[in-house]
Structures are given as C-alpha cells and as structure tokens.
Structure 1
Amino acid sequence: MEIKVSFKDISNEDKIYKNLYDGKWVESNSDKLIEIKSPINGELLGKVQSMSKEEVDLAIKNSKEAQKLWAEVPINRRAAILYRAAEILEQNANELAEMLVLEIAKDKRGAIAEVYRTIDYIKFTADSAKQLEGETIPGDSFPGTKKNKISFVTRVPLGVVLAISPFNYPVNLAASKIAPALAAGNAVFFKPPTQGSISGLYLAEIFNKAGLPDGVLNTVTGRGSEIGDYCVTHPDIDFINFTGSTEVGKRISNITTMKPVLLELGGKDAAIVLEDADLDEAADNIVAGGYSYSGQRCTAVKRILVMDSVADELVAKVKTKVAKLEVGDPREEGTVVGPLINGKACDFVMELIEDAKEKGAELVIGGNREGNIVYPTLFDKVDTNMRLAWEEPFGPVLPVIRVKSIDEAIGIANESSYGLQSSVFTKNIDAAFYIANKLEVGTVQVNNKPERGPDHFPFLGVKASGMGTQGIRYSIEAMSRPKAIVLNLGAVE
C-alpha cells in the first residue's frame, strides 16, 4: 500500500515544523524559532523550534521508557519495520529530493542519489540485522578449564542513542545512524542539523509511518551551541553517534565521560599521483572527487600530491575538466558547483584562496566569488607554508603540491592532523601497496577518488578525522554490546 508523506504532516499552517515526541508531532512550549532559508536565494522555507532543556529531558525520558519494550521486539519484526520505511521513502523520494535541493543547495542529481542511497542503506541494514548471530564458547578450549562450562554470547542494545547528522547529507547520514541503532534494539534521540532540519524531520516521519512504536524515535531541534552540550552529557544518553566538524567532535569527546561515541569528522584527503598513472583517469577522479556538491564533503579530494615530472600534464588535464563544470543554480539540470551552505563558509574559503595568492601559489583557474557561489578553483605550486596545504576548505578549491619522490608524498600526506582517506593513482601494484601501508588514514583508494561506501565496507577516520568504525554491520555492532551467559553444568567426575 502506498503511503504519501507530506511536509504539512509535520508542520503547522505557518510552516513551523514540529518535533516527533512519543509518536506524535508536537509544538514546543518555547517561543524561540529558527528560520530555515534556502542558500540558493534566501527564500524562507520554514521555521524550526528551539527546544528547551526541560523538553529535552521529557523526550529523552520517553525514549528510555520506549527502548525497554523495543529491545524485546524480535529482530525479524524490527527488520520488517525497516523494510517498510525504505518502501515509504521510495514512494516519496522525489518530494524529499526537491527539499534537499532547496534546503542545502544540493544539485538535483546529487539529491535524488542521496535519497536512493538511503533506501538501499535501510534495506541492507534490515538484511544485516537478521544475519547477526550469537555464539557458544566451550570452556575447555582455554587451558586448565574443565568441560562443565559453556558461554552463550548474544548482542544486546546499549539503550538510547543520540544521533546527530550534518548539513551536507541530512538524510543519508541520519539514516546511517538511525537504522543500525534501531536494528540493534536501541531507541534513537535524533538531532538533525539546523540547516537540513526540515529534510531530517521528514525522514523521521518516514520511520514513524513505517510503524515504529511510539517513543522509539524522538527528535530535537535547536542550535547545537544552545542545547548540544546538554544533550551529549545527558545521563540517560547511552551512545553518541555524531557526524560534523572536527572542532565539535573534539568537544564531544572532551566533555563526555564513560560514554561510548562514534565520531565522523573532517578530512584533508590527498590524491597521490605517480609518474606511471593514467593521467586521464586520475584527472577524472580528482575533478569528480574535489568539486561535486561544491566540495562540501568530508571525503572530497582536498589536495593533489603529484610527481613533478607529470605535474604539468596533470594540471592541464584537470584545468580543462574544471573549466567545463556547470556553475550556478542547483535547481538547473547539470549544475555541479552551486552556492555554499552560507556566507560564513564562503568567507572561509576565500580566506584560504587569498592566503595562497599572497604566498605565491599559481592560480590556474577560478578564485572568484559571486554571492554564496565560489567558482571552482585550482592552484598549482602550493607549498607547505600555505594554509591551503593543511586546512579543510569544505568548498570547491584544490591545491596542487609537487613532490619529487614517493616518500616525500607520504610524508606530506601524513603530516596532516587529519586521517580520513587518501587516493593513490598508479599502474604499479607494489607501489600502491607500499604507499597504502604507510599512509595514516582509515581507507586508501587505489585508482579511485576517496568516497564513502559501498556502505557495507568499513568507513573510519584516524587522528582528527574521527573515532570508531562505521559501515552497516560495524555500526550495528558499535551500538550494541556482547552479553555472556555462562552455563555451569556441574562437576564432571
């Protein structure tokens, strides 16, 4: 049966978006509202409520009570609800994709891709949950232990998961927290990003319509600067799953005590290009990886480390491809680079661009700004004294750093405080593995751009890029724990 979900279901006639509490959409007692305007043209899309600490307390208490019953629901029934959520999301994919375009200025192709990737993610989570099995461990496999002990090991939920998603993937990176948490038997207290709240709340209604018991998924809206610390340190939150900036991630790590966290933070992903690389393939991947969604991705290519002997040729190829990128309104077909999420983000990118210019980098293409659009920018001959070599722009600008050896490339790559992903372009498998083994990152892509997924692969960052491992099975395991019951059979004569 087809179920239609409307944005009117979760807002009032004044386009004030409510919060999901105990299975119903309710208005806050607070009169503080946050305007959500489109980065494209400043159009007011609606307002979200800034919930009070008292309302947060009530919602978390409700989540904790609901979780006790949800933990008793068999996995096959939890999976059935996830399958139903994926089905409803597919039935309403276009409406949600249209809001993504308006709310976060994602291009049309990228918006619909995000929704359909989320559908697949939820389905695969349901599949994976049904395949998780416990184990029995005989005691006598350990030296000195008799045969009268058997350990039955199962996985149990942690309790209430606080899920905090980012603006750039407010649907996919919300579902990647919510679905595994629910599959493991947790309740979820979901805080969408401020810019991205409307899309995130719509996703919550998808799960609600799929038949989740009341209170198993509650939402909270408000600025992280006002209620963020309160939520992450709340005594009834049992796990924190956060995607966002390294600055906020470090704060969460510092202020939480004896509370498990899964943090997906920033990156400064390097594309290392060797002399024998297929330069056309490398250029294609670098441009796709560096400029799609205006570079606003943690896994975007953020610097190119290329052997000096092939640097001129690679730069020329990248420049040609960058010049062909469509820039403008993301509502128009074919647009790749559109407005950044806000003016502050643009200001920061332009700071990095100006610093590179002042310190002698060679501007190959771009470097200009119109409103909240920063044109796709490529710098050559960037050196390690420039901010662009180290800082994450989260915008459409790429530095080329020329190197003379593999070990020099590895050294510069590893000097970064980040460690999310890197790419290596070469036809030499021995060189690829040598570099991959030396790089201090979570994942190394050989002859491909950095990317998240496929979603059943492990996804992780080291150093300032995060803590813990994601990926569907890994996420379910992170938000559950082993529990052992030891059966003592009596003395054996």
Structure 2
Amino acid sequence: MREYKAFINNEFIENGQWLEIINPTTLKPAGRVTALKQKDIENAYKSARYAQKSWEKVDLLKRIAFINEFKNLIIKNQNEIAQIMSEEIAKNLQDSLGEVLRTVEIIDYTLEEAKRIDPKAMTGEGMGAKNKIGIFSRVAKGVILAISPFNYPFNLALAKIIPALVMGNSVVFKPATAGSLVGAYMGKLAFEAKLPKGIFNVVTGRGSEVGDLITSNPEIDMISFTGSVNVGNQIRKNGSTTDLVLELGGKDPALVLDDINLEKYANEIISGAFGYSGQRCTAIKRVFVFDNYADKLVEILKEKITKLSVGNPEDNASITPVIDVKSSDFIQGLIDDAKTKGAQVVIGDKRQNNLMWPTLLDHVKTDMRIAWEEPFGPVLPILRINSIEEMIEIANKSNFGLQASIFCQDISTALNVAKQIEVGTININSKSQRGPDCFPFLGIKDSGEGVQGIRESLLSMTRYRGIVINY
C-alpha cells in the first residue's frame, strides 16, 4: 500500500494520523496520506507567507529554472504518476499517462507565456496631465490556495500551481481526498527538485474535517478551486474577502440542429459524454434533437455505445468504475427516476457495485431529474424537442452555465443559436471540452466564477502595481 506524507516548508509531516484512500476498482485501500490537524495547516500558511516575499524577488528566469527541474522529474516519473492515478481514481492507464504528458505541455506553455506578461506604460496626456508617465507591472498576489478535483488530480492541480509559482506567489495545495496520493507525490517531486522552502506546500486530510480550516485562513490572498457546487458555495461563504476563481459543475447540452452528418455528430457526442466514464464537468450531459431524425441518431449512438469496453483501468477499458459506490447510487437514482416517469432505456442500465455500464436514455422529459441534475457518470439522456427556440429555452433554464455544443452545417444558424445560449463557451460541431489549454475557460451561474486558461491564470494570480513618474 502506498504511503505519502503531507509536505510543509520542505518537510514531510507525520503526525500519526492517516487518511485512507480507496481504490475504486477493488474497493480496497490504495494507500494513505497524512491527515493534518489545525496546527499543521496553520504552519503551512505561515511558511507560505514567510517564503513568498523572498521567492517573488527571485528573477523570473531563475524561477523558471526551478520549475523546469520539477517538470523534468515529472517526465522521469511519468509512468509511476500514471500508475498511482489509475489506482486512485480508476482512470485507465492510457488516459492517466495522457493527463501527465498534457500537463508537461501546459507547464512549458505557461513558462513561456510568463515571459510575455509585460508592464503597461502610458502617459497622462489624454487627461491633460502631460507631465506624467505611468508604468503598471503585474506582481504576485501573495499566498495562493489551490484546490484540485478527483477527476483530473494532476492536470487541474498543476494548471493552478505552476502559474502561481512562476509569477512569484507561494502555494498551499489541497488535493481532493480521491487524488491525495497523486497530490502528495507532488511534494516528493518538489523536494527532489529542491524548490525553495515554503513556496509549495501540500496539505492533506478529509475535506469535511479540515476544509473550513484550509479555506478560511487569513493568510490566503486568492483561492483557485475546482470541484462541486456545494463546496464552491461554501468557499464563497468562507472567503468573501478573498479573490476567487471557481470551476464548478455543468449540465452541458448538445443541440443537434440538422441530420447532414449524424455519424460525425454521434462520434463527438459519444466521446464527450463517456470519456472517463462521464466524470467530467465538460461532459455532454444531455442531447436535444428534433423528433424527425431522433430515431436515426439514437440508433447510431446505440451502435457506438456497444463498442465501448467496460472493465478495469489497467486493461485500458473505455468505461471504468466511477469514483465510489455513493456516486454510483446517485447516478442509478437518476436513471431509475427517469424510467419511472417514462424514459426508455436504449442500452445500459447495468451495474456491479460502482462499475456502471454506459447508459442511453431516450424520450427524456423535463419533469425528470436527469434533465437537470449533473450525474457525473456514464449516462446520456436524449430529449426530443421540436423547435430551436424550445432547445434554447430549456438549455438556459439550467442553473449551470459551463459549455454547450451545437451540431449544424449552416454556420449562420449555428452562430445565431450560439449567441443565445447562456454558458461560458459554445463549441460548434465539436464536443464540449476544456482545451486547448491556451483558450480561456469559464463558467457562469452555478458553473463558476472567474476565468482560467494559461494566460488568464497568470493574470488572475497577479495584480497591477503602478509607478507614476512626474517630470
């Protein structure tokens, strides 16, 4: 069984208390991490605050050199990291390794982009102040709390940590409970990379027990969080005076507006709906389609779903166990509610503990929970809707507003509909997705607050400092 300790001020913390991490595939322990107490968490913030001032004074290129040492250790240990991830969250090995390599690409891009965060120089002449020149530079905010989710425990963690560090901030990092083994392993890599003391701290423990302690510490200058709406709203409550970037849930619709290329549309929908067993905030979670070609689309989707392999992550199955039995109970509850109210199971509705077969539900109506609630699992509802106006209306009634997909070969129609859908991003003729990572990424309503993306994260983790020269 793997055992990793919390990492504070370049020391590994062992206090005799442990948090056990369960392997979703075996439902047995995959490992354990330190379960921190209040004094440990306070020490992490004190260390981060003390270290930040000197770290910010380190030249940018030297900060980049430190981070490159960390990155090189990621590359060296990529297979081990992927193996830990696969054991911890049941992501198949191929996708786990892909996540690690994608993260390396993000680090490289972030370090290059950091070199281009140039000061802004301006004169006051336009306001009648001819004797003033202002130089406005981006400087570190201070101590950044980064909180990552279970589904992308490496990628979405370092997409927060690296921009924070390269711009001169220090970081306190709290991984999700499922994801803590990967998160604590980052502390091991940071130690081996000889990152300066205190700039990167990994705090571990069950969120329900230490979450408020971690998110309400007065040393925090900014919180970057990815996770559930409930926890995000709690952070809003606890950190009302702290800068926030929140990435929360989604109920991303796919609007199929013609039948010109249903085969291609179906490929995108299947990839979008069932990647990592549907456990993605950007997963396609409902399909709106006109009734006159719904039968044809449903038949194509069914055929493609039958080809998805179901099994264990070490076998690189397409569909692997969802994160825990509680989650599978919730997903099954949504399916059962829809069946009770008249939805038809086209394929799926099979389960062994938390391994759930991909399920396609047809004739879903708006009085069913699955039409509105985020399942975070391998289930796709089909809503037959007879006008574009009704599609837009139902899409916008959702409390979520992350992404949407529009499938249509008439670009004028697609763009007109896209402008009316209340989400952060609309994908035309493609599945909803986070990347490419250089694009801004955002949600509205209950889907989030603030903007992520490589350049946007660099900006959100800095503030302006102005110097005005009078002559």
* TM-score normalized by the length of structure 1: 0.94
Match for residue 24 of structure 1? 11
- Aligned partners of 1:325 and 1:388: how far apart in 2? 22
Change (3 A) 1:411 1:277: farther
Partner residue, 2:36: 51
SS of residue in 2 equivalent to 1:298: coil
Residue 372 of structure 1 and its aligned partner are, at CA, apart by: 1.1
Aligned to 2:63: 78
Deviation of 1:191 (Å) = 0.5
CA distance in 1, matches of 2:363, 2:420: 24
Q: Where do residues 177-192 of structure 1 align in structure 2 (5 Å cutoff)?
A: 177-192=160-175
Q: Tell me the distance in 2 between the aligned counterparts of 1:234 and 1:22.
A: 17
| Matched position secondary structure for 1:71 | helix
Equivalent position SS for 1:190: strand
**Segment drifting more, 269-278 vs 353-362:** 269-278
Could you list the per-position Cα deviations for residues 52-75 of structure 1 after superposition, in whole angstroms to 9, with x for gaps in the alignment?
A: 111111111011000010010111
Tell me if 1:347 matches 2:329.
yes
Which of 451, 456, 464 in structure 1 is aligned with 2:446?
464
Tell me the residue number matched to 1:237.
220
Aligned-partner Cα distance in 1 for 2:315–2:259: 38
Equivalent residue, structure 1, for 2:379: 397
Listed one character per residue, the Cα deviations across residues 387-407 of structure 1 (whole Å, up to 9, x for unaligned) are 000000000000000111111
Give 1:276 deviation, angstroms. Answer: 4.1
Structure 1's 401 and 282: CA in aligned 2 closer, same or farther, altered over 3 A? same
Letter in 1 for 2:270: V
- Cα deviation for residue 162 of structure 1 reads 0.5
SS at structure 1 position matched to 2:427 = strand
State the secondary structure of the residue aligned to 1:331.
helix
2:468 alignment counterpart: 486
Q: Quick check: 1:61 aligned with 2:46? A: yes
Structure-1 residue corresponding to 2:398: 416
- Preserved CA contact (<8 Å) 1:275 1:309: no
Displacement after TM superposition at 1:45 (Å): 2.1
2:423 alignment partner in structure 1: 441
Q: Deviations over 1:3-37 (max 9, x none)?
A: xxxxxxxxxxx854211111122213xx4321112
User: How far does the alpha carbon of each residue in 1:264-297 deviate from its partner, in whole angstroms, 9 at most, with x for none?
Assistant: 0000000110124410111001111111111001
- Tell me how far 1:466 sits from its aligned partner: 0.2
Q: Which amino acid aligns with 1:292?
A: G
User: Are 1:162 and 2:149 an aligned pair?
Assistant: no
Aligned length: 471
Structure 1 unpaired stretches of 5+: 1-13
Quote the residue 1:331 is aligned against: 314
2:192 matched to 1:205?
Answer: no
Corresponding residue number in structure 1 for 2:459:
477
Distance in 2 (alpha carbons) for counterparts of 1:353 and 1:166? 25
Counterpart for residue 292 of structure 1: 275
State the 4+ residue runs in structure 1 displaced beyond 6 angstroms: none
Task: Choose the corresponding residue for 1:94, options 70, 79, 94.
Answer: 79
Listed as ranges, the matches of 1:85-234 within 5 Å are: 85-142=70-127, 145-234=128-217
Cα distance in 1, alignment partners of residues 2 and 72 from structure 2:
26
Q: Deviations over 1:305-351 (max 9, x none)?
A: 11122111110000000011000111103x11111100000000000
Deviation at 1:255, TM superposition (A): 2.2
Question: Superposition pairs for residues 296-311 of structure 1, below 5 Å?
Answer: 296-311=279-294
Q: Using the TM superposition, name which of 378-387 and 223-232 deviates more.
A: 223-232
Q: Within 2, Cα distance between the matches of 1:396 and 1:183?
A: 37
Deviations 1:149-173 (A, max 9, x none): 1111001111110010001111001
Aligned 8 A contact 1:139 1:148 in 2: yes
Residue type at the aligned position of 2:36: M
Separation in structure 1 between the aligned mates of residue 135 and residue 160 of structure 2, nearest angstrom: 28
Cα offset for 1:203? 2.3
Would you say the 8 A contact 2:228–2:249 is kept in 1? yes
Q: Distance in 2 between matches of 1:404 and 1:204?
A: 54
1:141 Cα deviation from its structure 2 partner: 2.1
2-side partners of 1:15 and 1:302: how far apart? 35
Residue matched to 1:4: none
Q: Which residue of 2 aligns with 1:6?
A: none
Kept after mapping to 2: 8 A contact 1:208/1:217: no
Give yes or no for contact 2:227–2:247 (8 Å, CA) kept in 1: yes
Tell me how far 1:362 sits from its aligned partner: 1.0
Extract unaligned runs of 5+ from structure 2: none
Asked if 1:368 is matched to 2:353, the reply is no
Whether 1:274 and 2:257 are equivalent positions in the alignment is yes
Matched, 1:454 2:436: yes
**Residues in 1 aligned to 2:376 and 2:253: alpha-carbon distance in whole angstroms:** 14
Corresponding letter in the other structure for 2:179: G
Letter in 1 for 2:227: G
Asked whether the equivalents of residues 80 and 126 of structure 1 are also in contact (C-alpha less than 8 Å), the reply is no
CA distance in 2, matches of 1:98, 1:453: 24
Displacement of 1:205 after TM fit?
Answer: 2.7
Cross-structure match for 1:264: 247
Q: Which amino acid aligns with 1:418?
A: F
